[in-house]
Structure 1
Amino acid sequence: METVDVDRTDAAYRAWLKEAVRKVQADANRSADTHLLRFPLPEAWGIDLYLKDESTHPTGSLKHRLARSLFLYGLCNGWIRPGKPVIEASSGSTAVSEAYFAALVGVPFIAVMAKSTSQAKIDLIEFHGGSCHLVDDPCEVYEVSMRLAAETGGHYMDQFTYAERATDWRGNNNIAESIFAQLRREPHPEPAWIVATAGTGGTSATIARYVHYQQFDTRICVADPENSVFFDGWLRHDPQATSERGSRIEGIGRQRMEPSFVPGAIDRMMKVPDAASIAAMRVLENVLGKKAGASSGTGLWSALKIVAQMRAAGEHGSVVTLICDPGDRYLDKYYSDEWLAAQGLDIAPCRAELEAFLADGSWPAR
């Protein structure tokens, strides 16, 4: 039988691929690590709270890490090709970061997003050279993204499937490795809890896997907003859980259990009312002088509740949560009292709870 030998090597493509990978890796090499900020708590409590400030990435959010990993994954798998568009289903921040990397390697980018996405995010995607395809129902983003990829011959990046596998959770400067390195000289270098929020679920999966791999005792809590199914799906062990309404907290919460959400890796989940997320976001600004998005407020509310529970139990240690993106993307939304009124959201009671806790250590029982 004659040997069959098929060689698909294209010299021009291989040269383009090498240069594209170099550019993405060079971007990481140019970027300093993000800061780990200390949230002030009374020293007598013996508990330290830190916020990993992912808003300092070049594209302004936690999703910069994910987009870099997804582009390297897509490039090295041969999925991203010269001249062909990358398409992504996104609630905004991932698309901003992917538009940046698409421009870096020289391919078109199309973001498929709900019409409710903040205008500031749409403007940033277009600033980085991407285009936006807006849909009425957030549940449509998956199907529309696949259709556009088929029609254009492009690549559907599919962050909701590949987020948990594109990142090397064993190390290689992932967010978990960075957190533990920055805590090394702190009073409690191995945190009792790390609190994450979930959009794809990739961040919580990366942190949880790293903790287990390194044999740390740190526990992982995922804070979930209203109208998201992650909490219910995790509680009922139901991978098919769905929700009829989408999350009001941009960047986190989903209407289906996403493939990148790994429920078995995490220890605890906490359902957070939207009013509490926005109240915590505004308290964060008062305490640190820094505007952050409402997803950061979701994590901060849960982290402070855990601090309160540790204090009540007489426990000492540290807790870490994340600043996911900057608040200037939401000035006409979460920072707008008119928007809150239109949504029927009263954040005053939740804000009062937080301020009372920070003042005297008491967390009202609900």
Structure 2
Amino acid sequence: MSQRAWVAAAIHKIEADFNRSADTHLIPLALAGYPGIEVYFKDESSHPTGSLKHRLARSLFLYALANGWLREGSPVIEASSGSTAVSEAYFARLLGLPFLAVIPSCTSPDKIAAIEFQGGRCHLVDDPAAINAESARLARESGGHFMDQFTYAERATDWRANNNIAESIFKQMAQEPHPVPDWIVCSPGTGGTSATLGRYVRYREHPSRILCVDPEHSVFFDYYRDALAGVADGSRTHHCGSRIEGIGRPRVEPSFIPQCVDAMAKIPDDLSLAAMRHVSARLGRRVGGSTGTNFVGVLLAAQAMQAQGREGSIVTILCDSGERYAHSYYSPEWYRSRGIDTEASDARIQERVEGRGAALEVPVAGDMTGCA
């Protein structure tokens, strides 16, 4: 089979797989302390590979195929904190390609098992900041292709339409009391989702604003704050990797476009994980830590709207299932070993959901007041 014929057959397989898949659900979740403000979770855990990264992996494979970067039988290598690797392993197996995930050694064993379940192999690296360089080296030595999600996430996704997450959200919101969200809250891993959302709302002339919430050990918030001040330094780094798997980075990634974001907040890990537990209890199923980070952002947006006397809607993302974190976020020993106080943070989140106590005070950059 010629290279062009193989590429055509590979694209057809991915498109056929997409045609077999349903869209993900939009789940309402009432906030008792914020009457008139409707909250919705876009449940990306219902994808075949269980996370938001399924959309990204599909886009990355189509982008690489259209660019002629993938060849029959050649290995695919990706640098990942886990979820993207699970999804890319799925698509690599669909196309009959070997897949190698380069992941931090601290990645949860459940995610490693999920990568291997999809037919991938794992290459563990002690330094999370080194996974890109190690992936590039392995690709060179094996004659394979390094997908490089952190560079290509924002350009591989068709942000105008083609059933991207933004288009899906607005279609599903059409019959709701406030069909155009005041805020869409997301968190940065590659930066691809915030870029897609920010571009789409501008392209479609929606007044919705994008709040991007960064975890405690990550560089994106600091870079964004610097960009607002006109002194952004793309070489800025953080001394360690994020404890909230799937989001946050120790370096500024090329796919993070600060101009696509209207405001950012930096969320302490204890609040992210308390919010995760709250959402899990409300939905009756486990969600991941990044969903907790997003929910803290929802509370910040709801606080701001309430202070301004405004009603409306907020949409955020349920990034993945919490079943992959049974050995970490849902293990009491994990919290004890890291000195994280769960009781105080659980109480703080519950207060804010009910509209009691002082407002959440976390570092915020950008405008959280008024309309776009």
Fold conserved between structures, TM > 0.5: yes
Correspondence 1:155 to 2:150 = no
Query: 1:176 matched to which residue of 2?
Result: 166
CA distance in 1, matches of 2:236, 2:285: 36
Choose the corresponding residue for 1:262, options 257, 272, 284.
Answer: 257
Cα deviation code 1:193-233 (max 9, x no counterpart):
00000000000000000000001100001000011000000
Matched, 1:36 2:26: yes
SS at match of 1:162: helix
Given candidates 247, 254, 257, the residue that maps to 1:252 is 247
Q: Which residue of 2 aligns with 1:274?
A: 269
Counterpart of 1:45 in 2: which secondary structure? coil
2:364 is aligned to none
Match of 1:357 in 2: 352
1:97 is displaced (CA, Å) by 0.1
Deviations 1:73-107 (A, max 9, x none): 01111101011000000000000000000000010
* Match of residue 210 from structure 2: 220
Letter in 1 for 2:117: F
Residue 45 of structure 1 is matched in structure 2 by 35
Q: Which amino acid aligns with 2:184?
A: I
State the match for 1:89 in structure 2.
Answer: 79
1:195 lines up with 2:185 in the alignment: yes
One-letter amino acid of the counterpart of residue 358, structure 1? V
Q: How does 1:32-181 map to 2 (within 5 A)?
A: 32-42=22-32, 45-181=35-171
Q: Does structure 1 residue 305 correspond to structure 2 residue 300?
A: yes
Distance, in Å, in 2 between the alignment partners of 1:365 and 1:171 is 35
CA distance in 2, matches of 1:212, 1:26: 31
Contact 2:242/2:248 (CA < 8 Å) preserved in 1?
A: yes
Give the 3 Å change call, closer, same or farther, for CA 211–37 of structure 1 in structure 2.
Answer: same
Shift of 1:360: 4.4
Q: Find the counterpart in structure 2 of residue 285 from structure 1.
A: 280
1:169 is paired with a residue of what secondary structure? Answer: coil
Kindly provide the CA deviation profile for residues 14-71 of structure 1, in whole angstroms up to 9, marking residues without a partner as x. Answer: 2221111111111111110000000112497110000000000000000000000000
TM-score, normalised on structure 2?
0.94
Shift of 1:159: 0.2
- Could you tell me which runs of 5 or more consecutive residues in structure 1 were left unpaired when the two chains were aligned: 1-10
Distance 1:311 1:136, change over 3 A: same
- Return 196-205 or 285-294, whichever deviates more: 285-294
Asked if 2 retains the 8 angstrom alpha-carbon contact of 1:149 and 1:156, the reply is yes
How far apart, in 2, do the equivalents of 1:44 and 1:136 lie? 44
> Following the alignment from structure 1 to structure 2, what is the Cα–Cα distance between the partners of residues 347 and 269?
25
Preserved contact between residue 353 and residue 364 of structure 1 (Cα < 8 Å): no
Change in Cα spacing, 1:332 to 1:306, as seen in structure 2 (3 Å) is same
Contact 1:95–1:111 at 8 Å: present in 2 too?
yes
Q: 1:110 and 1:44, CA in 2 relative to 1: closer, same or farther beyond 3 A? A: closer
How big is the shift at 1:357?
2.5
For residues 156-180 of structure 1, what are the alpha-carbon distances to aligned partners after superposition, in whole Å with 9 as ceiling and x for unaligned? Answer: 0000000000000000100000000
1:294 pairs with one of 284, 289, 296: 289
What CA deviation, in whole Å up to 9, does each residue of 1:256-288 have, x standing for no partner? 110000001110000000000100000001111
Report the CA distance between 1:185 and its aligned residue.
Answer: 0.3
Q: Which has the larger radius of gyration?
A: 1
Change (3 A) 1:267 1:364: closer
SS of alignment partner, residue 284 of structure 1:
helix
How has the CA–CA distance of structure 1 residues 69 and 300 changed in structure 2, closer, same or farther, with 3 Å as cutoff? same
1:140 CA displacement: 1.1
Question: How far apart are 1:350 and its partner, in Å?
Answer: 2.1
Amino acid at match of 1:36: L
Which residue of 1 is the match for residue 332 of structure 2?
Answer: 337
- Whether the 8 Å CA contact 1:99–1:129 is kept in 2: the answer is yes
Q: Which whole-Å CA distance do the structure 2 matches of 1:59 and 1:251 have between them? A: 14
Answer whether contact 1:308 1:363 (CA < 8 A) is retained.
Answer: no
**Alignment RMSD:** 1.2
Q: Provide the rounded CA distance (Å) in 2 between the counterparts of 1:365 and 1:155.
A: 44
Q: Any stretches of 5+ residues in structure 2 without a counterpart?
A: 362-372
The sequence identity of aligned pairs, in percent, is 56
1:154 and 1:365 mapped to 2: Cα distance?
Answer: 47
Is the partner of 2:354 in helix, strand or coil?
helix
For 1:332 and 1:145, locate their aligned partners in 2 and report how far apart those are by CA, in whole Å. Answer: 26
Structure 1 residue 362 displacement after superposition: 4.5
1:322 aligns with 2:317: yes
Counterpart amino acid of residue 257 in structure 2: V
Checking the alignment, whether the CA contact within 8 Å between 1:308 and 1:362 is kept in structure 2 is no
Q: CA deviation at 1:304?
A: 1.3
My pick for the range that moved more, 41-50 or 215-224, is 41-50
Q: Secondary structure at the match of 2:2?
A: helix
Counterparts of 2:298 and 2:34, CA distance in 1 = 18
